[in-house]
Amino acid sequence: MLKIAASLLAADFACLERDIARVAQADYLHVDVMDGQFVPNISFGPPVIAAVAGITPVPLHLHLMIEEPGRLLDAIFASGRGQIDCITVHAEACTHLHRTLQEINCLGVRAGVALNPATPIAEIEHVLGLIDRILVMTVNPGFGGQQFLDEMVPKIRAISGLLDSQGAQCEIGVDGGIDIKTAPLVVEAGASFLVAGSAIFKADHPEQVISKLRSTISAPRC
């Protein structure tokens, strides 16, 4: 079954509690933590994560777009108030990815690794045993509302093949430009976890978009 994560980056920050309530049907709230260095934007930190965790029962998927995320893991984990399902770090941002994943595992939450569009899947081949979720970036990270990169579909399919060949149980997620039109493409390629921001939060009826995304049928191959 497809899991849908509503990306808080697309919400109205002046009415955050209202917008969070509007997406209560989502499986997860996707929270992008940015430091202005790994990506050219600054977003949420521990205080906002703590506030969000205090007003919704929806599990949190934390996407850390920060340099050397290991140094902030304890503070970020504590801010989640027990509602963090998964902490995802970028392979490109970790000098010692293996160690960082071990540290996440020790916190008792699921560990994810995100790959930027230009990052080869070989970066995660030797740490698959520590990963619960692979997040394929289908835009260059840092800003919401970007156009989906079609050339990432073969990459998703290649990751799916790698997992099958290794017998790994990782979940494949996709983040960037996901909407009703692009969702079937990534599902056909092997994704089962969809992060959507603008498509959900900018809709008049977010719950209907979440329902439609969750019922996505794979697109036929050309």
Per-residue pLDDT tens digits for 17-64: 999 999 999 999 999 999 999 998 899 999 999 999 999 999 999 999
Q: Does residue 66 lie in a domain region?
A: yes
From 35, 85, 175, 179, the catalytic residue: 175
How many folded domains does the chain comprise? Answer: 1
In a domain, 221, yes or no: no
- State which residues form the domain around 191: 3-214
Share above pLDDT 90 across residues of the chain, in percent, rounded to a whole number: 90
Please count the other Cβ atoms lying within 10 Å of the Cβ belonging to residue 97. Answer: 21
Tell me, what CATH number does 88's domain have? 3.20.20.70
Q: Does residue 220 belong to any structural domain of this protein?
A: no
What are the φ/ψ torsions at residue 201 (nearest 5 degrees)?
Answer: -70, -25
DSSP symbol at 116: -
- Residue 1 is predicted with a pLDDT of 81
Q: Is residue 75 part of a domain?
A: yes
| 222, part of any domain | no
Q: Which residue has the tokens 């692979």?
A: 134
- 206 phi, psi to nearest 5 deg: -55, -35
Give catalytic status of residue 32 as yes or no.
yes
**Which residue among 32, 35, 85, 179 is the active-site one?**
32
Split at pLDDT 50, 70, 90, the class of 220 is: low
Whether residue 48 lies inside any domain: the answer is: yes
The pLDDT score that the predictor gives to residue 222 is 41
Tokens of 45: 């930190």
Kindly state whether residue 10 falls inside one of the protein's structural domains: yes
Radius of gyration of the chain (CA): 16
Question: Could you tell me if residue 93 is inside a domain?
Answer: yes
pLDDT tens by residue, 87-146: 999 999 999 999 999 999 999 999 999 999 999 999 999 999 999 999 999 999 877 777
Do 130 and 124 meet the contact criterion of CB atoms below 8 Å apart?
no
